[in-house]
Structure 1
């Protein structure tokens, strides 16, 4: 599966690690821990195989790094790319156009590749971690089904609703931003030729009062070839907290989604209003994509940040530690950056797990703080202040800052966000 460049540097052979959370961040962490010698088991609370409902991911270097440095899977088979960033007006005219290359994947494509590298023998579905104890020498994790597992290191990568986060910071609770993200995908081949030509090689934005939509092409379920690609989008729209938000999040099955509402579950009247508004306010090419979406779905835009990420032999990373609004396209990049930094700290610690986590924590906390502050400002500019200006360099993607992909040994690139 992987190359052998670290085979002689595995100080954690025969030591055990548990990763709670089997999504992209959890799998990246598990692969890196396995790479330095740990025996790793991953526990995912969802009882069925995960899928990302086709949603897109902007690939920043931290996210893609596993496949470029350690995997035998060809990263080219996982991604699409575009060469431009553009903003459209209400007549489909390009009002700003910047030559910048960005790469993308789909959630399912990337997840399946990580799982293929990790394997399924030590990947456990339907395992809800309900509590844990750290006695200084090991960590014991208790699961709702009665199983108990003990390890030298436990990493919680279990998402924005992480039950473990309260152990690290009891006051860290998700707060609502004031808006939701409508998402969807449409096969490129189903769009008009004019729209494919206009948007097929670009990140495209349409900015309207108190809102904006972002669109870009991602791999389809059957591959990355042009005929298989999907146009992916997220459209940020304000919804007041309270009854209006609760009603929007009430699915056709009668259940209220806490952080999302899956495809096929959004009430038809809300889908109809979405399409009518798209036709009325968005650039026509962007509106065409929204109108062509068979089953748009919803994600609630939330903020949360823990003031602790390390506690003895346990670590909290990715969205469990800090869930930041998507405007910097940095969610998966932050989880991967946490995982790579943890791996480096463990390698530098001469086998001292607790010492490694203590050394790892400060920089990752600062990265979380800076990212959350930045994307909060970006979102507020778009949704409430109407100061999201097309082409403004401060609105570019980047985990480490506007247009910055990595602070060390990587050349900055930029894309308007």
Structure 2
């Protein structure tokens, strides 16, 4: 019997970070309930994920599911010129998944009996032995531990650090996927076994293959991309973020909701500037969508029996491909701290917080510098090892 048998935990946010945390807490003996604010299933959301060691640790150490059934792989990192010529190529293996594939696998391990959709947390109160989470539905959850894993727009962050603010980077990420089998043979051959970059003035695009809804085979894979493009703050950005229904987005616009005139301009610019293979993928995307690239970090990750993990604590620009890895690292470190604390949850959170705050700060510092090199200074140099992926540093 562990020190946490019979203890209750509420995880606010049912995405990848929340599910990873919930699974680890359950393994420690907690009775875990996950509360997701979205009223419908999350399956199918999002694009590609670069798999780093922390991200996959649940599947390599605890799950009975095999990681190779959830992922694709490439053997090279390459940079393309304006004629599809390869100007730099390294042999470097990376593996990838899609958000939906990874989410479904984690949810399959956790189950749905204690996974609650449509529950929006709005407040939390603590006494010495318990914390009570309040929801807009009127529901209350009295528990011994509360984890906010509710993403970039975290309610938990606003409660623990009301002064934390979004700092817009000056650019957005255009994202999308295209079935790989729909691309020309030339493009499939060029992009199929590499993570590929096309660098142009004040911008770059990254492309790699991810699993499709039907599997990981070549006929099932999707070519995923993110293309970083500068958009000045103020009126121009605000107008772009008004969707087709007339609603204003804050951190993203979902597929199918971006105004047609912006999609048309994006496709025209891709055809003019990007390597032809990259341009083919972008222009073939049926419903591209927009991610607003911003920085936000809480100066606190723990307070009594309440903690923040993943993007709820710090949302980093995507350049290090470390967002899901950071969430998983927070969760595993928390599990270790709880194990060492002999049942003293507040003490565990106090011990856990400093290292995770430092990790967040280092990651944000690095990805901000990477973004500035691409979008401002034009010093994103093909093959520069300092630009490689990694949560703890390049290739780390």
- Provide, for residues 195-231 of structure 1, a one-character-per-residue CA deviation record: whole Å limited to 9, x for no partner: 1111100000000000000000000001011110000
**How many Å separate the matches in 2 of 1:273 and 1:134?**
51
Partner of 1:350: 342
The alpha carbon displacement at 1:335 in A equals: 0.2
The alpha carbon displacement at 1:54 in A equals: 4.8
User: Is 1:174 aligned to 2:130, yes or no?
Assistant: no
The alpha carbon displacement at 1:164 in A equals: 1.7
Aligned length: 396
Is the partner of 1:228 in helix, strand or coil? coil
Q: TM-score, normalised by structure 1?
A: 0.94
User: Is 1:367 aligned to 2:356, yes or no?
Assistant: no
User: Is 1:115 aligned to 2:114, yes or no?
Assistant: no
User: Is 1:96 aligned to 2:88, yes or no?
Assistant: yes
Partner of 1:5: none
The 5 Å alignment of 1:123-134 reads 123-134=115-126
Partner of 2:246: 254
User: Is 1:63 aligned to 2:55, yes or no?
Assistant: yes
**How many Å separate the matches in 2 of 1:385 and 1:341?**
36
Is the partner of 2:90 in helix, strand or coil? strand
Is the partner of 1:385 in helix, strand or coil? coil
Partner of 1:33: 25
2:214 corresponds to which of 222, 240, 248: 222
The 5 Å alignment of 1:157-172 reads 157-172=149-164
List structure 1 runs of 4+ shifted beyond 2 angstroms. Answer: 51-54
**How many Å separate the matches in 1 of 2:46 and 2:346?**
38
Partner of 1:142: 134
**Mind listing any 5+ residue stretches in structure 2 that lack a counterpart?**
none
2:10 corresponds to which of 7, 18, 22: 18
CA contact (8 A) 1:317 1:339 kept: yes
**How many Å separate the matches in 1 of 2:202 and 2:73?**
29
**How many Å separate the matches in 2 of 1:229 and 1:54?**
15
The alpha carbon displacement at 1:11 in A equals: 2.5
The 5 Å alignment of 1:382-397 reads 382-397=374-389
CA contact (8 A) 1:53 1:263 kept: no
**How many Å separate the matches in 2 of 1:382 and 1:346?**
40
Partner of 1:106: 98
1:49 corresponds to which of 26, 41, 45: 41
**How many Å separate the matches in 2 of 1:213 and 1:108?**
22
The 5 Å alignment of 1:207-286 reads 207-286=199-278
1:398 corresponds to which of 367, 381, 390: 390
2:194 corresponds to which of 186, 199, 202: 202
Is the partner of 1:121 in helix, strand or coil? coil
The alpha carbon displacement at 1:323 in A equals: 0.1
CA contact (8 A) 1:160 1:174 kept: no
Q: TM-score, normalised by structure 2?
A: 0.99
**How many Å separate the matches in 1 of 2:358 and 2:156?**
20
The alpha carbon displacement at 1:175 in A equals: 1.5
Partner of 1:295: 287
**How many Å separate the matches in 2 of 1:235 and 1:385?**
17
**How many Å separate the matches in 2 of 1:333 and 1:164?**
20
Is the partner of 1:164 in helix, strand or coil? helix
The alpha carbon displacement at 1:52 in A equals: 4.6
